[in-house]
Homo-oligomer: A and B are copies of this chain.
Amino acid sequence: MEFKTVLKERAIYIEELLNKYMPKEEGYQKTIMESMNYSLSAGGKRLRPILTLEACKIVGGNEEDAIPFAVAIEMIHTYSLIHDDLPALDNDDLRRGRKTNHIVYGEDMAILAGDALLNYAFEVMLSSSLGKKNPEKYLRAINEIAKSSGIYGMIGGQVVDVQSENEQIPKEKLDYIHNNKTAAIIIGCMRAGAIIGDANEEQIDEITKYAKNIGLSFQIVDDILDIVGDEAKLGKKVGSDIDNNKSTYPSLLGLEKSKEIANELISEAKKSIEKLSENVEFLNGLADYIIAREY
């Protein structure tokens, strides 16, 4: 089966899980559930939850144990998109061809829906972890998710990204943004999955390296696609980084050098994962897919 088909199938499975874990749209406060679920069901590649489950499986765990963590990381990713799209931030009216949350529900509800999704992610992880055999393991896994999405992870990256608009920044700072805005929650969700799968420390280390390398590569490829990408295939406008005078890998290092680095990171990622298991087909395929998205 072609890798894209496998990925699509897994995304469909994640959609089913999300539908199961979404809050019911009822009660006086049901508008907030509608607003949360509107954005949760807006599609996307669902890479983060897929990676959470795969990390659990590849270390020998039962991927079903990691389901609440997979769902939670997608809720956190979704809340970050809702808030990112707000007028005070990126001011985007459309995402994946649909109206953004604040366009449909108003800015007040979009702010609260983002808050609610972040909070609900923790509710899902915590409530599903109660009464389990090894509670310390669950605390550790939730802690990984929390660290990776806060000021020493995703939010940290967003802040520096926001502050670096219309500014030429050095590569070190750009790497900070990419590593935190994008790679951090990929690392967090894979570490959480591996922990739930009872990974040993060496396995967690290799998973971490894989996640860090594909996370950075993913973001570099995004930078590249913003220059050479096909709008129709990508489903979004290209050229916005240049329009916004944003520092990117291509703007700092040139297109060819950026491609080279993205490729190197993917090779490194594959090396880490091959130490882990013989069933590396999916994670190898995913690594290749990240750079094959375009050029």
Contacts and interface: CB of A to CB of B under 8 A. Distances in A.
Nearest to A119: B150
A146 B125 CA distance: 10
Contact of A116 (B88, B112, B116, B155): B155
Given A115-B83, A127-B143, A136-B135, A120 B151 contact: yes
Interface stretch (A10-18, A27-35, A203-211, A246-254): A27-35
Query: Contact size class for A?
Result: 35 or more
Contacts of A147: 123, 127
Contact of A112 (B131, B138, B143, B155): B155
Nearest to A110: B88
A83 B135 CA distance: 33
A139 interface: yes
Interface string A154-172: 0111111011000000000
B86 A159 contact: no
B33 A151 contact: yes
A280 interface: no
Interface string A35-66: 01000000000000000000000000000000
A266 interface: no
A149 interface: yes
A139 B150 contact: no
Contacts of A142: 122, 126, 142
Contacts of A289: none
Given A118-B118, A142-B126, A159 B111 contact: no
A115 B112 contact: no
Contacts of A114: 115
Interface in A74-133: 79-80, 83, 86, 88-89, 106-109, 111-112, 114-116, 118-120, 122-123, 126-127, 129-131
A36 B152 CA distance: 14
Given A146-B119, A151-B120, A156-B27, A111 B83 contact: yes
Interface of A: 23, 27-29, 31-33, 36, 79-80, 83, 86, 88-89, 106-109, 111-112, 114-116, 118-120, 122-123, 126-127, 129-131, 135-136, 138-140, 142-143, 146-147, 149-151, 155-160, 162-163, 173, 176, 180
